[in-house]
Amino acid sequence: MSHDVRLLQISDTHLFANPKGRLRGVETLTSLRQVLTHATARRTSLDALLCSGDLINDDIGGYPHFVRELSVLGKPVYCVPGNHDDPALMRRALSQPPFQVGGYVDLGTAWRIVLLDSCVPGKAGGRISRTELRALEAALSGSDRYAMVCLHHHPVSMASDWLDAVGIENADELFAILDAHSRVRALSWGHVHQSFDGRRSGVRLLATPSTCGQFLPLSDGFAVDRRPPAYRRLTLQSDGGIETEVVWVEEAAGALASASA
């Protein structure tokens, strides 16, 4: 029997109360539905979902849509807040199973997923509070499992001036903790609306694109990319290895283009 953990990561769903609500021309709820249909049809052995923030687009009426669409999948859903979320109201809206906001969870025989809040009220950029840093240290110190840490804001440069101005202010404090724990295998985030796959001191660094629209990589100023909605598939192996890929949902892009025509 395999003890690997199979995850679907989505990010930056940007939902509105209005089911027809659009972000830069994309109906975000329609796009999310297309992404989930695509992803679940191709990974039937899914263990859990991971959502790396910005569930809503500053409209708390979007949370019921998120709850409805994700609940029907019948899988645990682990979430962190983003800068467009209201963390307190998000926790209240997602206070019942299958949802968990923040904390950590042990999956399979070998893995611990740690969910960090990197939000600063009223700011687009992020910072990890002392409380969250202590919680991270405790979660990593109290386990001999391999660890994957998930948050919303990016902790490394994306080589994009405008995006790097709204990353994590105290990434050095985050990495000081991660560097002290050799079983950390991955650090994953959203926020940047693009794919990234790098490494630092043996830790996989992963950014997951949005389920709606993307930002143009390597752009000094704000610019929208023409790439379609996307999600990330992850297999966390029992020996600490990670297999992952970003899947771009051309079907969703085509359907959305037809709907807007």
Distance of CA 242 to the CA centre of its chain: 17
Asked whether the beta carbons of 1 and 187 are under 8 A apart, the reply is no
CATH number of the domain enclosing 207: 3.60.21.10
Closest CA to 229 of 256, 205, 261: 256
Are β-strands 196-200 and 203-207 bridged in parallel, bridged antiparallel, or unpaired?
A: antiparallel
Domain of 103? Answer: 5-260
- Reply yes or no on whether the pLDDT at 96 is more than 50: yes
| Helix (H) / strand (E) containing 141 | helix 130-141
pLDDT of residue 1: 44
Question: DSSP letter at 62?
Answer: G
Rounded to the nearest integer, the mean pLDDT of the chain is: 94
Closest CA to 8 of 28, 38, 26: 38
Closest CA to 150 of 218, 194, 100: 100
Q: How confident is the model at residue 142 (pLDDT cuts 50, 70, 90)?
A: confident
Asked whether the beta carbons of 91 and 101 are under 8 A apart, the reply is yes
pTM of the full predicted structure?
0.93
Q: How confident is the model at residue 251 (pLDDT cuts 50, 70, 90)?
A: low
Give pLDDT tens digits for 2-17: 689 999 999 999 999 9
Total domain count, the chain: 1
